[in-house]
Every structure is written in C-alpha cells, then in structure tokens.
C-alpha cells in the first residue's frame, strides 16, 4: 500500500470516527447542558438537578427496581437459553431452525401487541401470585430473547461444541459439568454480550412497564419530567453513562482475559533438542 493511499485511509477513519462520535456525543452533551441550567434566563450553571436525584425516593426505588429487573432478566435468560441452545445443537440439531424462529419472533411483534397478549397473564399473576414489579422480568426475558439468542449463537458457532462436550463426557463429566465448566467458559465474551444487551434493553424499557402499570426507571423519568425536567434529564444522562461504563468494563474484562491467555511463553529447549521442531 503506498503512502498516499494509507493517508487517505487514515483520513477516512478519522472522519468516520468524528462523525459517529458527534452523532452520539452531541445529544448527550445537550442533555447534560440542559440538566445543568439554572432557574431563569441569566441564572448560572448549577448541579442542583444532579444533587437532588437522591432526594426523590420514588426515583431511587425505580432505579433499584430496574437494576434488579436487569439482573433477574439476564440470569433467567442465561439459565433458560444457554442450556437449551447447547442441548439443541448437540442432541436435536433438527430443531435448530425452530428454536431460532421462536427466539427471533418477539423482534417481529410490536411491543404493544405483546403487552395486549401478556396483560391477562399479569392480571392473573397480580391476583394470585404477586404484583411485584419484579414479575416484569418474565416479559423482559421474552423481549431480550432475539438479541441474546444472536449473541449466544455467535459464541456457540465460534467453538467446537460437539467435540468439546464429547471429550468432557468421555473424561467422566456429566451434562451439567459439560455446560457450565467446559462450554460456558469458552464463550464468555458471548455471555457478556448477551447480558449487556439484556441489561441495556431492560434499563431502557418503557412500554411494557407503563402499559402494565409498573413504575420502572423509564416510567419514573417520564413522570418526573412532567414535574422537574432538569432532574428527569439528569437521570437519563446518568443511566446512559451507566450503560456506557458497563459496556466499557465488560469490553476490558473480555480483552484482559484474552490478553492473559495469549501471553507468549518461552518454548522448552529440551523439547526443541529432542524434536528439532514443533511437533
């Protein structure tokens, strides 16, 4: 590649990076700017909206509920989806297409339609089991299925599931050990991705909670926005920042693990002496 072409490519990369960065950061900056405005036209900048977040008990409650929902949804999703996908891949490959279709189905159905279908179930649950907001996790598991399925499917495709599981079984491992100690650790990046997508979806979810009559973070932000727009925007910025930091942390954790494994080690001189070359 000649120098001019390399420079052009570098310039193109920088332009794309700047444009995309602006696309994400300009609205983010505008929200932050709005959340730091004082009362009145000439009022100085203030962090009052940020500092008063904790003084709204209902907001704190909604944040905690959304975080709990995110954790429960991720756990249930993994618990249901991962063993199912591994089992289908190993023992029932003919069902692969059917499972994929079922998992991707929620993507094609509008949220409002899903809510209409689910509302009788939630009415029954509220009367007979529990009316806790945490029951929303059941609906959220359905909501995150398509995204989690795609992430896990990519992870499973990247490893030789059949051979690894057969090797483990021939060494005395049961199915549980095969799944959690052999397959899962080798697709940690896919698991992290699936969890991240689930967390992001749950933290940003509004329609289900609002229409089913529960108050999660987004519903609370919406309600707060009608009373105090500054605090509402500050919480929105905070939740976006939280998702962003989470993404960064997960990316670095994955990268650090890869780097640790890839660390080169010196070869054994005795072996080289015996074999002359790698065998």
Partner 1 sequence: MAVKEPVTRAGVEVRLEELRRSYAGVQALNGVSLTLAPGELVALLGPSGCGKTTAMRLVAGLEEADGGRVVIAGADVTNLPASKRDVGMVFQAYSLFPHMTALQNVAFGLQMRHVALDERRRRAAEMLEVVGLGGLGDRYAHQLSGGQQQRVALARALAIHPKILLLDEPLSALDARVRARLRDEIRRVQLETGITTLFVTHDQEEALAIADRVGVMNKGRIEQLGPPTAIYSRPATPFVAEFVGLTNRLPGNVRDGQVEVRGVRLPLVKSDTPNGPAIALIRPEAVSLAGDGEGVAGPLTGTVIAVSFLGATSRVTVDLGDQIVLAQMPTADATTHTAGTKVRLTLRPDPVLIARDEKASAES
Report the nearest approach of partner 1 to the CB of residue 75 (Å): 22
Q: Which is nearer to partner 1, 126 or 164 (CB)?
A: 164
Q: Does 45 bind partner 1 (CB under 8 A)?
A: no
Which of 223, 262, 268, 270 lies closest to 59, judged by CA? 223
Q: Which is nearer to partner 1, 13 or 181 (CB)?
A: 181
Q: Does 94 bind partner 1 (CB under 8 A)?
A: no
Size of the site for partner 1 (CB under 8 A): 29
Residues 244-273 that bind partner 1 (CB under 8 A): 261-262, 264-265, 268, 270-271
Selected from 3, 172, 227, 259, the binder of partner 1 by CB under 8 A is: 172
Residues 187-206 that bind partner 1 (CB under 8 A): 188
Which of 224, 195, 219 lies closest to 209, judged by CA? 219
Q: What is the DSSP string of the chain?
A: --HHHHHHHHHHHHHHHHHHHHHHHHHHHHHHHHHT--SSSSPPP--HHHHTGGG-HHHHHHHHHHHHHHHHHHHHHHHHHHHHHHHHHHH-GGGHHHHHHHHHHHHHS-HHHHHHHHHHHHHHHHHHT---GGGHHHHHHHHHHHHHHHHHHHHHHTS-HHHHHHHHHHTT--HHHIIIIIIGGGGHHHHHHHHHHHHHHHHT--HHHHHHT---HHHHHHHHHHH-HHHHHHHHHHHHHHHHHHHHHHHHHHHHHHHHHH------HHHHHHHSS--
Stretch touching partner 1 by CB under 8 A, among 3-11, 162-170, 210-218, 239-247: 162-170
Residues 220-239 that bind partner 1 (CB under 8 A): none
Q: Does 51 bind partner 1 (CB under 8 A)?
A: no
Q: Which is nearer to partner 1, 37 or 169 (CB)?
A: 169
Report the nearest approach of partner 1 to the CB of residue 197 (Å): 23
Residue pair 220/58 in contact by the 8 Å Cβ criterion: yes
Report the nearest approach of partner 1 to the CB of residue 265 (Å): 6
Q: Which is nearer to partner 1, 67 or 159 (CB)?
A: 159
Report the nearest approach of partner 1 to the CB of residue 278 (Å): 4
Selected from 14, 109, 160, 252, the binder of partner 1 by CB under 8 A is: 160
- Which residues here bind partner 1, judged by CB under 8 A? 159-160, 163-164, 166-174, 177, 182, 185-186, 188, 261-262, 264-265, 268, 270-271, 274-275, 278-279
């Amino acid at each position: 590649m000649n120098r001019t072409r390399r420079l052009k490519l570098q310039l193109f990369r920088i332009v794309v990076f700047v444009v995309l960065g602006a696309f994400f950061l300009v609205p983010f900056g505008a929200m932050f700017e709005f959340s730091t405005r004082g009362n009145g036209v000439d009022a100085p900048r203030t962090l009052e909206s940020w500092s008063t977040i904790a003084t709204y008990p209902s907001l704190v409650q909604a944040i905690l509920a959304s975080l709990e929902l995110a954790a429960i949804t991720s756990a249930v999703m993994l618990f249901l989806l991962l063993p199912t996908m591994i089992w289908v891949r190993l023992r029932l490959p003919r069902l692969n297409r059917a499972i994929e279709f079922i998992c991707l189905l929620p993507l094609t159905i509008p949220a409002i339609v899903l809510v209409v279908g689910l509302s009788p179930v939630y009415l029954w649950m509220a009367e007979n089991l529990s009316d806790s907001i945490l029951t929303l996790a059941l609906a959220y598991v359905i909501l995150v299925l398509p995204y989690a399925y795609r992430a896990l499917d990519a992870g499973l495709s990247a490893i030789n599931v059949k051979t690894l599981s057969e090797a483990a079984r021939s060494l005395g491992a049961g199915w549980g050990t095969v799944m959690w100690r052999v397959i899962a650790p080798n697709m940690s990046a896919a698991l992290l991705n699936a969890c991240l997508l689930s967390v992001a979806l749950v933290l940003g979810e509004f329609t289900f909670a609002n229409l089913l009559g529960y108050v999660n973070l987004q519903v609370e932000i919406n309600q707060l926005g009608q009373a105090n727009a500054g605090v509402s925007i500050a919480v929105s910025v905070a939740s976006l920042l939280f998702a962003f930091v989470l993404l960064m942390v997960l990316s670095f954790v994955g990268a650090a693990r890869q780097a640790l494994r890839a660390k080169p080690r010196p070869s054994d001189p005795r072996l080289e002496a015996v074999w002359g070359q790698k065998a």
